[in-house]
Structures are given as C-alpha cells and as structure tokens.
Structure 1
C-alpha cells in the first residue's frame, strides 16, 4: 500500500470524527508558521472573535506544552492545554488539545502549511475521539465557525506583519 493509499484509508476511517478548516493567507509560509512558534505571536491572534488568551506556560517543541486560559466575550474562562506531538518547520504541526493533560476528550489536530502562489494555504484537520464529541464541538461550541474566525485572526495578524516588514 502506498503512502497516499494509507492516508486516504486513514482519512476515511476518521471522516465522521473530524472537522477540517482551511484558508489561504496572503503571507509567506515561514511567517504563517512562525505565528505558532512564539507565545508573543499566539497571544495576539489565537481564538475566535472576542476571545483573549492568557498563557500560564509555553514551550514550542515536541513534547512541550502550552497551558493557557481563553477568556470568552461573556466573561467565561476556558482552561486549555496543548502538547506538541510533531513539528516539521515550516510545513506541519501536530498537537493534542484538551482541557488538561489527562482530558479523556482531548482531540488531535494536524496543521499543514503549503505555499500557495505568494501566500500560504493552511489546513487545520481536527480529529475527535468520537463522532459524538465532534458533533458536540460543532453544535454546542460552534467549532467550525470558531476555527474559521481563528484562522481569520491569524490571517489579519500575519498579513499586517508582512506589510510592516515590507515597509520597514
């Protein structure tokens, strides 16, 4: 079985448990990737519209952890925890995301960064442990809209940085 056949088989096996969001960003791939590597960047754009992020700890390396709180526009705080499971600069980041290290409902995300003309196509593929958890994330927490808003915030942040870099 070729790698592509294996990947297709894996994708079809998880299709009912996943959410896939993509966006083309008008900035170089290295810059888009870098926005994930340092907390000073992440804290400026991470999360959907109206959310802010407070970082407790951050270490961007395989096995490293980002422990943070997202503050919703209604004042609700959401404890979040990410561990980086694979990093291939500047093309791929794999992570496990939950409320804490022992969260049984933690989900896996794979982010890919591909050149797209002068910009970057980012694809965020999230696989939940069960279909029910995927459905709950989509319906109760509006995960698809929130993911689209998060990538829009990323796009605004890096394109502003790219413009400033071109001017500087």
Structure 2
C-alpha cells in the first residue's frame, strides 16, 4: 500500500479500509476526537458536515449532519463510543439518525473499530466496519460507502497536511 492509497477489502460482514497518513498517530487520532477537527474533513467533499455535537468519552455520543449540494439534502448520523484508547484505538457504534438523534431503525447500524498504528513516522489507519450480515455490507457498499470514505480520507489527508505545516 503506497502513500495516500487506500486498501479496501470485504470479508463476510466486514468492510476493512486501510490508508497511510503523513502524520503521527496522536494527530490522526486527534482529528477523530473533536467537532473542531471533524468539520474540516468528515463526509464526502460534496456533503460537508455542518452540524456537530460530541461528548468524546466511552459511553458518550457524537451527533452530526452532512448537507448535500441540493436544497434539503441532509444525512444525520449518531455514534456511540464504546472504547477510546488514545492514541491507538477508537471503537464506536454508528447509526443513521434524525435531527433529534433518534436512531433510524430502517437503516443498518455498524460497529466501527479504527486503529492508529505508528508506521515509520507516519500513521497506518485501519478501519474495520462490522455489519449484521453480508447482505447489509453489500447494500451499504452499493450505497457508495467506499467512495464516501475515500473522499473523507482524501479530505483528512489534506487537513493533516495543513495542520502539520501550521505546526512547523
């Protein structure tokens, strides 16, 4: 896997995405841990995150909205943090929700584990999303999840470059 290239793999109920970032694990982890950072990169470029509330602790919640290019396009999400091991690992349940934070039971929930691995002064990020069935995984991939994550991680890469340049 080369720099800035994403490795995507599916295994039964898992979507595994790996990518190397030119930043230390502490900084990449930090980019996941507050609305101030996430607003710069979470979501595809055409669907930026415009609303965000977060209680970053085990048992805490993250509620956000991505807004699309057309009037009324919005996608609300809610995450519940299960494990936070700074700066190495983050585990959360991720759901589609409404603007009030009520989970949309008609859409699939996901268990996401993000691991931040020191990789020669850089960070190898490994994100594993566990679905309830292979069919659900297939459905979410067909909805454009991989393309969406690719766009988000491209934006994260650009954001981390800005942060490391500003800190030098």
- Structure 1 length as normaliser, TM-score? 0.84
Tell me the alpha carbon deviations over residues 43-76 of structure 1, each in whole angstroms, 9 at most, x when there is no partner. 1110122111133521111111111111123441
Aligned CA RMSD, in angstroms, stands at 1.6
**In structure 2, what is the Cα distance between the partners aligned to 1:17 and 1:99?**
18
Structure of greater Rg: 1
1:50–1:114: structure 2 CA closer, same or farther, 3 Å change rule?
same
Corresponding residue pairs, total? 152
Is 1:20 the equivalent of 2:22? no
Unpaired runs of 5+ residues, structure 2, are 1-9
Q: 1:79 aligns with which of 76, 81, 84?
A: 76
Q: 1:159 aligns with which of 153, 158, 161?
A: 161
Q: 1:29 aligns with which of 5, 19, 25?
A: 25
Tell me the alpha carbon deviations over residues 89-119 of structure 1, each in whole angstroms, 9 at most, x when there is no partner. 0000001001135444210100000011111
Moved more, 105-114 or 55-64: 55-64
Structure 1 partner of 2:93: 96
**In structure 1, what is the Cα distance between the partners aligned to 2:80 and 2:92?**
6
Q: Identify the structure with the greater strand proportion.
A: 2
Runs of 4+ in 1 over 3 A off after TM superposition: 100-104
Q: Identify the structure with the greater helix proportion.
A: 1
- Structure 2 length as normaliser, TM-score? 0.84
